[in-house]
Amino acid sequence: MDILDMGAVAQSEALAAGSLTAVALMEASLARIEAVNGAVNAVVSLREREALLAEARAADVTPRRGWLHGIPMAIKDLSDAKGLPTTMGSPLFTGTVAQKDSVFVGRLRAAGAIFIGKTNTPEFGLGSHTFNPVHGATCNPYDLSKSAGGSSGGAAAALACGMVSVADGSDMMGSLRNPAGWNNVYGMRPSWGTVPGEPEGDMFLHQLATSGPMARSPRDLAALLDTMTGADPRQPFGISPAATLPQIDGQGPQVRIGWLGDWGGAFPYAEGIAALSEAALGQFADLGHVVSDIAAPFNAEKMWEAWITLRSFAVASGLGAIFENEAKRGHLKEAAQWEIRRGLEMTAMQVQRASVIRSDWYRRAAALFDTVDVLVLPSAQLWPFAVEEVHPVEIAGRSMDTYHRWMQVVVPAGLIGLPVVNVPAGFGENGLPGGLQLIGRHGSDAMLLRVAQHWHEATRWPQKRPPALG
- State pLDDT tens for residues 393-428: 999 999 999 999 999 999 999 999 999 999 999 999
Cα angle for residues 95, 98, 103 (degrees, 5° grid): 150
Asked if residue 252 is part of any domain, the answer here is: yes
Looking at every residue in the chain, the average pLDDT score rounds to 96
CA gap 291, 165 in Å, rounded: 32
Question: What's the rounded Cα separation, in Å, for the pair 129 and 142?
Answer: 15
- Where residue 418 sits, what CATH number does that domain have? 3.90.1300.10
pLDDT in tens, 56-107: 999 999 999 999 999 999 999 999 999 999 999 999 999 999 999 999 999 9
Distances (CA, A) of 40 to 144, 235, 411: 7, 37, 28
* 377 within domain boundaries: yes
- pLDDT tens, 253-297? 799 999 999 999 999 999 999 999 999 999 999 999 999 999 999
Is residue 280, in this structure, part of any structural domain at all?
yes
CB 333 within 8 A of CB 346: no
pLDDT at 232 over 80: yes
Cα 99 to Cα 81, 82, 83: the distances in Å are 8, 5, 6
Per-residue model confidence (pLDDT) at position 248: 67
SS3 179: helix
For the chain, give the percent of residues with pLDDT over 70: 97
Relative to beta strand 256-259, strand 290-293 is parallel
Amino acid 253: pLDDT = 74
* C-alpha to C-alpha distance for 213 and 444, rounded to whole angstroms: 16
Q: Please give the DSSP secondary-structure letter assigned to residue 74.
A: E
SS (H, E, C) 280-338: HHHHHHHCCCEEEECCCCCCHHHHHHHHHHHHHHHHHHHHHHHHCCHHHHCCCCHHHHH
Q: Is the predicted pLDDT of residue 307 greater than 80, yes or no?
A: yes
Specify the pLDDT at position 348.
Answer: 97
Going by pLDDT thresholds of 50, 70 and 90, the confidence category of residue 240 is confident
Query: Can you tell me the distance from the alpha carbon of 169 to that of 154, in angstroms, rounded to the nearest whole number?
Result: 9
470 belongs to a structural domain:
no
Residues 6+ apart with CB under 8 A from 54: none
Where in the sequence is the domain holding 74, given as residue range(s)?
Answer: 3-464
pLDDT in tens, 380-395: 999 999 999 999 999 9
CA of residue 462 relative to chain centroid, distance: 16
Indicate whether 220 pLDDT > 80: yes
Residue 358 located in a structural domain = yes
**Residue whose C-alpha is closest to residue 311's, from 355, 349, 267:** 355
Q: Are 302 and 66 in contact (CB under 8 A)?
A: no
pLDDT band at 242 (very low <50, low <70, confident <90, very high): low
What is the tens place of the pLDDT at every residue in 157-174? 999 999 999 999 999 999
Q: How many domains are there within the chain?
A: 1
pLDDT of 463 reads 97
Q: What is the pLDDT of residues 178-189, one digit of tens each?
A: 999 999 999 999
Q: Average pLDDT, stretch 111-129? A: 98
Please tell me the predicted confidence (pLDDT) of residue 470: 63
In a domain, 251, yes or no: yes
Residue 380 confidence (pLDDT): 98
Classify residue 136 as left (phi > 0), alpha (psi -120 to 50) or beta. Answer: left
Query: How far, in Å, CA of 137 to CA of 131, rounded?
Result: 4
Helix, strand or coil, per DSSP, at residue 62: coil
Residue type present at position 459:
T
Residue 469 within any structural domain of the chain? no
